[in-house]
Amino acid sequence: MAVSDGISPPRRIGLTMPRRRLLTHAVIFLVLVGLWEIGSRAGWLDPLFYPRPSNILRSFWLIYVQNGNVWFHLYATLGLVFAGFVAGSILGVGLGALVGFQPLVRRFIKPYVIVLEATPRIAVAPLLIAALGFGAPSKIAIIMLVCFFAPFINTLSGVVNVSEDRLELFNSLGAGKMQVLRKLVLPEALPVIMAGERLALTAALSGALVAEFIQRDQGIGSLILIYTRNLNMASAFACIFTLTIIGFLIFRGMEWIDNRIAFWNTEAGMARVGTKRALAFRGAHG
């Protein structure tokens, strides 16, 4: 089957919370933060390594407003992530479709895919930097490599695992090749492909960070590294919480896009588009 993150949507296992519980959660969170602060002030936690929440907050103020230096690095990282993600997923989806439609190629590519999958792909980062030099090209290449794989495998398996029964129905009704592709293969493969894209975008962020750790020139990854080297842990944590927010936005954004594009995959999406179409139809016919 296709790769998924192997992680079911949090909603299904009840990891999202209703609004009325938010207050209890907030209280618990504040108590934890308060304990941390008190522990640090009382000298149980070394503030050099475990920064105080108040210091982290001050760092947020510093790097976002007073110095404003985080914006430049954030912009650099996100630009790379975007470029690498787009390039990598176009490559992945394209090659996946190509291989999926060619049984012969598919047969011969399997061992290579297994080897590629077992290799930690991020490990190729130093090699790519040596080959392509410091700077954006090698970073983008690393991100491409990291996010190529999931869209590739998912497109491949999405295209291959088309339901036999439906295909037979299409053929018996005399559907042409393009019709099968557009009305059967694409709708069935798209949710799987989108799952791959979601994984790829998360991987792209990690890839960018690793590339920046190694190159240490600009970007949020090098910022974290430099702050930690200077034992400015509060600012390093502010950067990491920034990444948490970005990660959350990516997660939600991809979910939203997924719902829009592959609307037939969920009941709610089906209902939404169905109602809209019914209204349009009624409007057109008086």
Residues of span 246-265 touching another protein by CB under 8 A: 247-248, 250-251
Tokens of 126: 């130093």
Sites for another protein among residues 53-92 (CB under 8 A)? none
Judged by CB under 8 A, the stretch of 83-91, 149-157, 172-180, 268-276 that binds another protein is 149-157
- Quick check: 7 binds another protein (CB under 8 A)? yes
Cβ closest to another protein, residue 62 vs residue 141? 141
Instruction: Identify which of 110, 95, 200 has the alpha carbon closest to the alpha carbon of residue 150.
Output: 200
Among 41, 182, 183, 229, binds another protein (CB under 8 A): 229
- Quick check: 27 binds another protein (CB under 8 A)? no
- Quick check: 161 binds another protein (CB under 8 A)? yes
Kindly state the smallest distance separating residue 277's Cβ from another protein, in Å: 34
Task: Give the count of residues interacting with another protein (CB under 8 A).
Answer: 75
Sites for another protein among residues 100-139 (CB under 8 A)? 103-104, 106-111, 113-115, 117-120, 122-127, 129-132
- Quick check: 97 binds another protein (CB under 8 A)? no
Backbone phi, then psi, for 175, in 5-degree steps? Answer: -75, 145
Helix (H/G/I), strand (E/B), else coil: 234: helix
- Quick check: 33 binds another protein (CB under 8 A)? no
- Quick check: 23 binds another protein (CB under 8 A)? no
Cβ closest to another protein, residue 2 vs residue 76? 2
Among 63, 200, 214, 238, binds another protein (CB under 8 A): 214
Judged by CB under 8 A, the stretch of 82-90, 150-158, 168-176, 186-194 that binds another protein is 150-158
The residue written with tokens 């034992």 in the block is 231
- Quick check: 209 binds another protein (CB under 8 A)? yes
Tokens of 179: 């019709």
Mark residue 14 as left, alpha or beta (left: phi above 0; alpha: psi -120 to 50; beta: remaining).
left
Cβ closest to another protein, residue 86 vs residue 122? 122
The residue written with tokens 């949507």 in the block is 9
DSSP secondary structure, 63-108, as one string: IIIIS-THHHHHHHHHHHHHHHHHHHHHHHHHHHHHHHT-HHHHHH
- Residue 146 burial class via C-beta count within 10 angstroms: exposed 0-12, middle 13-18, buried 19 and up: buried
The DSSP output letter for 182 is I
- Quick check: 163 binds another protein (CB under 8 A)? no
Gap between the Cα atoms of 75 and 253, Å rounded: 18
Q: What is the dihedral of CA 4, 6, 7, 12, to 10 degrees?
A: 90
Judged by CB under 8 A, the stretch of 57-65, 66-74, 217-225, 276-284 that binds another protein is 217-225
Gap between the Cα atoms of 269 and 248, Å rounded: 22
Among 205, 238, 254, 262, binds another protein (CB under 8 A): 205
Treating both helix axes as pointing N-terminal to C-terminal, what angle do 22-41 and 53-61 enclose, rounded to 10 degrees?
Answer: 100
Sites for another protein among residues 165-194 (CB under 8 A)? none
